Copies of this chain bind each other. A is one copy, B any other.
Amino acid sequence: MYAITTSTRPAAPVSAMLRPFPASAHPQPKAVDSLGAFGRLGTAIKVERNRAIYFEGDDAEHCYRVVSGMVRLCKVTEDGRRQIAAFLIEGDLFAWTDQEAYQFSAEAVTDVTVEKFSRARIDEAVKDSPSLGRTILAMVSGQLAAAHDHLLLLGRMTASERIATFLIHLRKRQPGAASGAIELAMNRTDFADDLGLTVETVSRVMNGLKRRGVIAFAAPENVQLKQSGTLERLAMAA
């Protein structure tokens, strides 16, 4: 049941963030084909763009895995400042916590399919299959490493370094973007809230790079990396 729980709901940008659909609104969640190491332990759930999968403060009863689309983990302070901790894509695990409440909200950046696991069931499955536990640990520790890199970015990099790093990072994860064409699933605000900047600064830096011919974009969501070398020099320390 999707009862209205007493979670810390964002105070400022309320209108934008909606609860996930009640289960009844999704008569037939599409079956997931690529189950990976997780067999049939979970349930596939679809979530519409810009809806929350869960809110910070909700009881942490489930853990998840992205099947398709993009998810963001984020937190909003009382006065409306928002930080996005990570953008997650196909295969990424999230909410794999031991605390009794979620500390970050998870929201669908695009229309998304996620697989939902009961924590209890996963614990049992791991007892039977140590390799499953190994897989989970590998993914979580990978995310820890990514978070640490993100800390360096937020703590010590300038605006242009952050953006260069972000773009390069995106291209690495983009499956079929061998050239330099990147499809940005997120908008400039998400962009800014991930990098600890404002929308205006993101816009200025992006258009600065565009003017210098380092990147190109007609529509804001369709960026091409023209001079990867320059970008990598800007990005510096990986």
Given contacts A140-B140, A154-B196, A155-B83, contact A145 B99 (CB under 8 A): yes
What's the least CB distance linking A210 to chain B, in Å? 25
| Least CB separation from A137: chain B residue | B137
Given contacts A151-B85, A154-B151, A154-B154, contact A137 B136 (CB under 8 A): yes
Residues of B with C-beta under 8 A to A203 = none
Any B CB within 8 A of the CB of A150: yes
Interface stretch, picked from A14-22, A33-41, A47-55, A122-130, is: A122-130
Contact B156 A82 (CB under 8 A): yes
Q: Among A123, A143, A155, which residue has the most Cβ atoms of chain B within 10 A?
A: A155
How many Å lie between the Cα of A121 and that of B234 in the bound state? 40
Q: Among residues 178 to 194 in chain A, which have CB atoms less than 8 Å away from a CB atom of chain B?
A: 193
Residues of B with C-beta under 8 A to A96 = 137, 141
| Least CB separation from A129: chain B residue | B130
Contact B143 A133 (CB under 8 A): no
| Least CB separation from A93: chain B residue | B141
Given contacts A154-B151, A155-B196, contact A134 B144 (CB under 8 A): no
Given contacts A123-B134, A130-B130, A237-B75, contact A85 B148 (CB under 8 A): yes
What's the least CB distance linking A191 to chain B, in Å? 13
Given contacts A83-B155, A151-B85, contact A134 B126 (CB under 8 A): yes
How many Å lie between the Cα of A144 and that of B152 in the bound state? 15
Contact B148 A73 (CB under 8 A): yes
Closest CB pairs A-B (n = 10): A155-B196, A147-B147, A154-B154, A83-B152, A133-B133, A77-B237, A81-B156, A85-B148, A83-B155, A154-B155
In the complex, 21 of the A-B residue pairs with CB atoms within 8 angstroms, ordered by the A residue number, are: A77-B152, A77-B156, A77-B236, A83-B151, A96-B141, A97-B141, A97-B142, A97-B144, A98-B141, A98-B142, A99-B145, A103-B149, A104-B148, A123-B134, A136-B137, A140-B140, A143-B144, A147-B150, A150-B151, A154-B154, A155-B195
